[in-house]
Chains A and B, each alone.
Chain A
Amino acid sequence: DTAVSQTPKYLVTQMGNDKSIKCEQNLGHDTMYWYKQDSKKFLKIMFSYNNKELIINETVPNRFSPKSPDKAHLNLHINSLELGDSAVYFCASSQVNNEQFFGPGTRLTVL
Chain B
Amino acid sequence: GNSVTQMEGPVTLSEEAFLTINCTYTATGYPSLFWYVQYPGEGLQLLLKATKADDKGSNKGFEATYRKETTSFHLEKGSVQVSDSAVYFCALSSGGGADGLTFGKGTHLIIQP
Interface residues of A (CB under 8 A from B): 4, 30-31, 33, 35, 40-45, 48-50, 55-56, 58, 90, 92, 96-97, 99-105
- Prevailing SS type, chain A contact patch: strand
Residues of B near A30 (CB, < 8 A) are 98
Using an 8 Å CB-CB cutoff, how does the interface string of B99-113 with A read, 1 for contact, 0 for none?
111110110100000
> Which stretch from B12-20, B40-48, B60-68, B70-78 is at the chain A interface?
B40-48
Are B95 and A97 interface neighbours, CB within 8 A? yes
A/B interface sample: 27 pairs, CB < 8 A: A4-B43, A35-B100, A35-B101, A41-B38, A41-B87, A41-B105, A41-B108, A42-B105, A42-B106, A48-B100, A49-B98, A55-B97, A55-B98, A55-B99, A56-B98, A56-B99, A56-B100, A90-B43, A90-B44, A92-B44, A96-B97, A99-B49, A100-B46, A100-B101, A102-B36, A105-B42, A105-B43
The majority secondary structure among interface residues of chain B is strand
Inter-subunit contact A97/B32 (CB<8 Å): yes
- Most chain B beta carbons < 10 A, residue from A31, A41, A96: A41
Report Cα–Cα, A103/B93, bound state, in Å: 19
Residues of chain B within 8 A of A58, CB atoms compared = 100
Q: B87 contacts A96, CB within 8 Å?
A: no
Number of interface residues of B (CB under 8 A): 24
Min Cβ gap A55→B in Å is: 4
**Interchain CB contact under 8 A, A101 and B98:** no
Closest to B107 in A: A41
Q: Does B89 contact A (CB under 8 A)?
A: yes
